[in-house]
């Protein structure tokens, strides 16, 4: 239509929306479990979720006012390379994946497990997109950081 500006949703926004859908499937699937788990698995799952929460909070705390859900860095953001960011480039994504994996198992249904697989794919794509934006924003400093710090799993190249 002439005279009307058409807003275009960018890739980062689509990735955030896809992430939200996957998280809803994993954490809020509205059906009872189809199978039961041993108590030790339930306890271990709770511990893993708690540890993932701590990791995610540490990553969020470190970013402070520059924390965003969209992968685009804030204009005045500083490159985070200390704290949990010394271990992995995306500690919040790692925390979301770890906690969601545990929750998907604890749900006792296939749908949350499939939601977790979708979440892993979306966060892989989101991390890659975010890294392209960080490279554009921080240049060689980000390349140097990325060359020595793994994306999601400490002490690996992943």
**What per-residue confidence (pLDDT) applies to 7?**
59
Q: Which residue has the tokens 């554009």?
A: 136
**What per-residue confidence (pLDDT) applies to 31?**
96
**What per-residue confidence (pLDDT) applies to 2?**
54
d(Cα 92, Cα 95) in Å, to the nearest integer?
Answer: 5
Quick one: how far is CA 101 from the chain centroid? 12
Q: Is 76 helix (H, G, I), strand (E, B) or coil?
A: coil
d(Cα 76, Cα 69) in Å, to the nearest integer?
Answer: 16
Q: Are 22 and 118 in contact (CB under 8 A)?
A: yes
**What per-residue confidence (pLDDT) applies to 41?**
98
Span 39-66+78-158: which CATH code? 1.20.120.1630
Token pair recorded at residue 62: 């470190």
Rg, C-alpha atoms of the chain: 18
pTM given for the model: 0.91
pLDDT tens digit sequence for 106-145? 999 999 999 999 999 999 999 999 999 999 999 999 999 9
Q: Percent helix, strand, coil in the chain (nearest 5)?
A: 65, 0, 35
**What per-residue confidence (pLDDT) applies to 8?**
73
**What per-residue confidence (pLDDT) applies to 6?**
52
Q: Which residues of the chain have pLDDT under 70?
A: 1-7, 158
């Amino acid at each position: 239509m002439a005279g009307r500006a058409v807003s275009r949703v960018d890739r980062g926004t689509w990735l955030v929306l896809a992430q939200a859908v996957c998280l809803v499937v994993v954490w809020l699937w509205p059906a009872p479990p189809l199978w039961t788990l041993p108590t030790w698995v339930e306890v271990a799952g709770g511990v893993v979720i708690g540890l993932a929460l701590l990791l995610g909070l540490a990553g969020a705390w470190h970013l402070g006012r520059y924390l965003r859900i969209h992968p685009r860095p804030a204009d005045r953001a500083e490159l985070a390379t200390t704290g949990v960011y010394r271990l992995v480039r995306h500690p919040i994504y790692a925390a979301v994946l770890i906690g969601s994996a545990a929750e998907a198992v604890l749900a006792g249904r296939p749908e949350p497990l499939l939601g977790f697989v979708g979440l892993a794919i979306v966060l892989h794509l989101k991390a890659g997109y975010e890294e392209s934006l960080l490279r554009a924003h921080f240049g060689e400093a980000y390349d140097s950081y990325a060359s020595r710090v793994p994306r999601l799993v400490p002490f690996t190249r992943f």
